[in-house]
Structure 1
Amino acid sequence: MCQWFCDKTDEDPDFLNDVWFSDEAHFLLSGHVNSKNNIFWDSTPPDHCLQRPLHSTKCTAWVAMSKHGIIGPYWFEDDNEHSMTVNTEHDLQVMTKFWAALGRQRGINRAEQWFQQDGATPHISNESLTWLRQRFPDRLISRRCDPEWAPHSPDLNLPDFYLWGYLKDNVYINNPRQSPTSRQ
């Protein structure tokens, strides 16, 4: 994947300016951070284990980032503002909002923009990929596409590499908790 990016920037030094990197992240009220997205290395084994509830109250945010800025966040939630599972239908709702917002960006020609997403099942369903290929023909970076997004590569994705960690540090600094009157 890195070599592909290098080759593309050799062909067009401005290539990365027009790539929208996208991702979603869960923000859990328990303060738990997804260990698949955040890995901490130490030279000694941990001296204690922190247990968390299996299903904490959460919200799920989605963003896309490029040199042009950030589009989003969009939330995976129903009309009552309850968190929803990310599935193909909900993914397409978010993509539709993104596409409309991309069209409102000043100085951006949607026909020149690239779109990157990871290989999560809702993103690569036939329905989702058909929708995206109609809008980003030959400019879609994802699993089951050409080029195919490298699995397990959060260091290549702007939201994974920087944004989610920065936001979670700021959200969890005040130790948010669900109020007794709120519902999941």
Structure 2
Amino acid sequence: MEFCDSMLEMMEDETFISRLILSDEATFQLSGTVNRHNVRIWGTEHPHETAERERDSPKVNVFCAVPQDKVYGPFFFEGNTVTGQTYLDMLQNWLFTSLQADSHDFISQQDGAPPHWHLMVRAFLNEKVPQRWIGRKGAQDLALCAWPVKSPDLTVCDFFLRGYVKDHVYVPPLPTNLNDLKHRITTAINSVYSDMLIPAWEEFSYLIDIACAAGGGHIEHL
């Protein structure tokens, strides 16, 4: 509720949304599984449901950032795990360079994943964009506001981009190697054009509204 109230207040400034960059990473596996570490399944009772998954399937970790009019990415992390250091390297050497090529007046959002919480990452954000970043923060951090813990799928990356890419990547015949998988991911992301993002960003504003209307409760049914 605190986060949504803050967002609604900031959104009263007509320039706020146009400056906001939403971002996230996802893991795509050759087996067809898309890891969504922050997904929640809400229910009134245990569904007694099981799902089979292939262990140790080859995978790629992909990062994207989404303003109102384009998608920055994909950025493919090296290795099987995203660490605080590799995430920081991406911010320094790719994302902020790309963002600043278009504008120096942006607000960067990230969620509370462990690599984003790394001390070096927060130190970098405090120095480069003080009061212009949103994310999990400590008492001394110079963030614009804190990203809520275990938030529902509020961002364009969560409820639009990841599903769109998955639907275009995992089309038979399925990719057979990581190069093919990366190519399909890149092609899918490059096919997202600005007019597709307009309703997605309208949905973001709507989700903030209904989260407030729900008093911070479940919004998946609305």
Fold equivalence (TM over 0.5): yes
The match for 1:34 is 35
8 Å CA contact 2:32–2:170 kept in 1: the answer is yes
Partner of 1:141: 134
Give a deviation string over 1:42-67, Cα, whole Å, max 9, x none.
99987974411232110010011111
Residue in 2 aligned with 1:121?
A: 114
SS of 1:61's equivalent in the other structure is strand
Contact 1:18 1:114 in 2 (8 A): yes
Runs of 4+ in 1 over 3 A off after TM superposition: 35-50
Match of 1:168 in 2: 166
Other structure's SS at 1:122 match = helix
Structure 1 residues 36 and 85: CA distance shift in structure 2, 3 A: closer
Mapped to 2, the partners of 1:43 and 1:127 lie a distance apart of 41
Change in CA separation of 1:38 and 1:148 when aligned onto 2, cut-off 3 Å: closer
Q: How many residues align?
A: 170
Aligned 1:13-162 pairs, distance under 5 A: 13-34=14-35, 36-37=37-38, 49-77=50-78, 83-96=79-92, 97-105=94-102, 108=103, 110=104, 112-144=105-137, 145-162=143-160
Q: TM-score, normalization: structure 2?
A: 0.68
Q: For the aligned residues, what is the CA RMSD? A: 2.6
Query: Which residue of structure 1 aligns with residue 6 of structure 2?
Result: 4
Q: Say which SS state the counterpart of residue 53 (structure 1) adopts.
A: coil
**How many Å separate the matches in 2 of 1:48 and 1:58?**
25
Give the number of the structure whose residues are more often helix, by fraction.
2
Quick one: percent identity of the two aligned structures?
A: 32
Q: State the TM-score, normalized to the length of structure 1.
A: 0.81
Does the aligned pair in 1 maintain the 2:38–2:150 contact within 8 Å? no
